């Protein structure tokens, strides 16, 4: 199947068969459509408060020493930072459920130290398991073999064998099989006793395979080579994955391929809650309709290029439409080496992604916000402190999304639908109805053109009302500043920032009251302990509604 969107507006569905069910969500507003859609597919999960803090990651620390140096310099510059991610280089030879006891000797103790300092840890796990270790030495494979948890070849009996990160050949767990869920749950619970994780990042779960189909190649039949193939990599359904005629518990891989990451997300969410006794953090590369109920997403392996910085705004807006509001892009870019200015502008924009994480690929130069020197660190710190001060507002938006199913980040069109000018704007975005972020998206640029829809707008920094209404204005944006605006008529809860949310949650609260032309404003604050399971369902929270009106 492929679906083509045209500006007419029109949709063209091109398919070789199957049953097409159409659901129409009538709105009438864009925000209503998203609420109705998530009512059908499942509301977004309520994230833990700590997961709204800034996060650091790198594939290629290579050793615990390098990671420790990174953590130390973040501390030296006092840059807000809540979560450390561990990519595949923490593993022994890239084997799931292990850690490298040479290069990462002392990792379990270090993770406990990070937790003591108020931070949280997220470990990566891949969905392929090597079958070629010495017998009796690699339990994840042997237990899986015993329990019969793999995706099978077309015979439905022998496991599909491909190649991925671990040495030798790999087999692929079939998460649509309840036995696989048991196997995965057991291994994740046991691993918690080895590395004290707070969340799990599930990667490569398309599923990714470094071959075209499994060994010895895909049979020439109608499922593997259908009469029409959409314009995908090499026009092959098996490219970098498994043959479509492979068998999963629910049927042919041809029918279940798109469900692989989705079917891994819920069991991972459940086991993280079981293992930690707290709200789950799950980050998945592969998503499908309804994934937002149990996980968040990042926009995949982007590049350190200005066009990818710009595109990320579109990506975070889209995933909010899909009911996956916990979304962000790799800040500063994943592939290629970043540059000082690109990374600085990306730190500024990324400070306002719902999921804010700087991540980098193996072989690239370091790009954490503390590595570029004083000036860069100071600007990153200042921008992240704005994020941290507004976390009570962001957290309240996630509460509203979880309960009513709307967006957290939205386009101007969602709030000003009748204003045609807003329909094409994908370079600025809003947190909820009231906070506009207008990032610099081009190199060597020191101003941005901002469209101000019909409302009273206040400059976040000066708190002065802007003179602009329903027109464009050029706004100054020196290197140390990302332009931010507050919409009149709204009350935003805030809290004094700190270096972690563990500390900031203890600080005094405040309110930003931005009046509309009638001298009125309203807003709300949702607050709970930040990481207990089902506080909303158990009604174990505080919810305040604020209103203000000027007495003339």
Instruction: Name the residues annotated as catalytic.
Output: 203, 206
- Cβ within 8 Å of residue 273, ≥6 positions away: 279, 280, 533
Segment (H or E) for 476 = strand 471-476
Q: How far apart are CA 191 and CA 143, in angstroms?
A: 14
- Which residues lie across from 121 on neighbouring strands? 84
Say whether the peptide bond before residue 207 is cis (omega within 30 degrees of 0): yes
Can you read off the two tokens belonging to residue 408?
Answer: 């957290």
- Cβ within 8 Å of residue 259, ≥6 positions away: 176, 250, 288
- The count of C-alpha atoms lying within 13 angstroms of the C-alpha of 410, restricted to the half-sphere facing its C-beta, is 27
Pairing of strands 509-514, 490-495: antiparallel
Residue 109 DSSP SS3: helix
Q: How far apart are CA 405 and CA 399, in angstroms?
A: 9
Residue 80 DSSP SS3: coil
Segment (H or E) for 458 = strand 457-459
In order of 56, 359, 439, 441, 540, the CA distances from 308 in angstroms are: 19, 14, 13, 9, 41
Q: How far apart are CA 204 and CA 221, in angstroms?
A: 27
Q: Choose among 183, 155, 365: nearest CA to 243.
A: 155
Length of the chain measured in residues: 552
Beta strands in 106-185 (DSSP E): 120-125, 129-130, 161-162, 170-171
Cα torsion 355, 120, 92, 175: sign: negative
Q: How many Cβ atoms are within 10 Å of 547's Cβ, its own excluded? A: 10
Contact call for residues 354 and 49 (beta carbons, < 8 A): no
What single-letter DSSP state applies at residue 257? Answer: G
SS (H, E, C) 415-441: HCCCCHHHHHCCCCEEECCCEEECCCC
Cα torsion 255, 260, 262, 268: sign: positive
Residue with tokens 């941290």: 388
Can you read off the two tokens belonging to residue 477?
Answer: 């944006």
């Amino acid at each position: 199947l492929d679906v083509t969107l045209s500006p007419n507006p029109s949709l063209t569905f091109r398919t070789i068969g199957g049953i097409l069910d159409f659901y129409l969500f009538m709105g009438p507003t864009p925000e209503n459509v998203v609420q109705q859609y998530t009512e059908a597919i499942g509301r977004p999960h309520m994230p833990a408060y700590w997961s709204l803090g800034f996060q650091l990651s790198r594939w290629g620390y290579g050793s615990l020493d390098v990671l420790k140096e990174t953590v130390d310099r973040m501390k030296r510059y006092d840059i807000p930072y809540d979560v450390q991610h561990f990519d595949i280089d923490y593993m022994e030879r890239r084997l799931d459920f292990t850690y490298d006891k040479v290069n990462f000797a002392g990792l379990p103790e270090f993770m406990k130290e990070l937790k003591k300092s108020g931070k949280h840890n997220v470990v990566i796990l891949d969905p392929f398991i090597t079958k070629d270790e010495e017998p009796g030495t690699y339990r994840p494979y042997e237990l899986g073999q015993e329990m019969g948890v793999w995706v099978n070849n077309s015979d439905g009996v022998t496991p599909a064998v491909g190649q991925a990160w671990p040495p030798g050949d790999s087999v692929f767990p079939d998460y649509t099989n309840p036995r696989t869920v048991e196997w995965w749950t057991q291994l994740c619970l046991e691993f918690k006793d080895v590395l004290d994780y707070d969340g799990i990042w599930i990667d490569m779960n398309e599923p990714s395979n470094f071959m075209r189909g499994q060994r010895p190649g895909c049979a020439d039949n109608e499922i593997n080579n259908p009469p029409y193939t959409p314009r995908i990599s090499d026009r092959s359904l098996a490219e970098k994955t498994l043959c479509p005629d492979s068998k999963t518990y629910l049927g042919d891989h041809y029918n279940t391929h798109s469900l692989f990451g989705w079917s891994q997300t819920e069991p991972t969410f459940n086991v993280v809650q079981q293992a930690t006794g707290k709200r789950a953090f799950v980050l998945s590369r592969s998503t499908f309709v309804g994934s937002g109920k149990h996980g968040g997403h990042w926009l995949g392996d982007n590049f350190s290029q200005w066009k990818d910085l710009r595109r990320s705004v579109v990506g975070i807006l889209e995933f909010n439409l899909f009911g996956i509001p916990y979304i962000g892009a790799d800040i500063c870019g994943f592939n290629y080496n970043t540059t000082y200015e690109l990374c600085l502008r990306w730190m500024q924009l990324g400070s306002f992604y719902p999921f804010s994480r700087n991540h980098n690929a193996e072989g690239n130069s370091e790009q954490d916000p503390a590595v570029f020197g004083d000036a860069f660190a100071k600007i990153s710190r200042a921008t992240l402190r704005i994020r941290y001060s507004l976390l009570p507002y962001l957290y309240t938006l996630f509460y509203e999304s979880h309960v009513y199913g709307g967006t957290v980040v939205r386009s101007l069109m969602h709030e000003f639908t009748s204003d045609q000018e807003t329909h094409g704007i994908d370079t600025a975005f809003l947190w909820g109805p009231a906070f506009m972020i207008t990032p610099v998206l081009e190199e060597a640029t020191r101003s941005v053109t901002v469209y101000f829809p019909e409302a009273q707008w206040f400059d976040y920094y000066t708190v002065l009302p802007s003179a602009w209404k329903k027109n464009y204005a050029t706004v100054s944006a020196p290197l140390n500043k990302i332009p931010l605006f507050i919409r009149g008529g709204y009350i935003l809860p805030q809290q004094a920032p700190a270096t972690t949310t563990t500390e900031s949650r203890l600080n005094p609260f405040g309110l930003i009251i931005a009046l509309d032309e009638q001298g009125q404003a309203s807003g709300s604050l949702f607050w709970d302990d930040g990481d207990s399971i089902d506080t909303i369902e158990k009604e174990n929270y505080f919810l305040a509604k604020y209103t203000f009106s000027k007495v003339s």
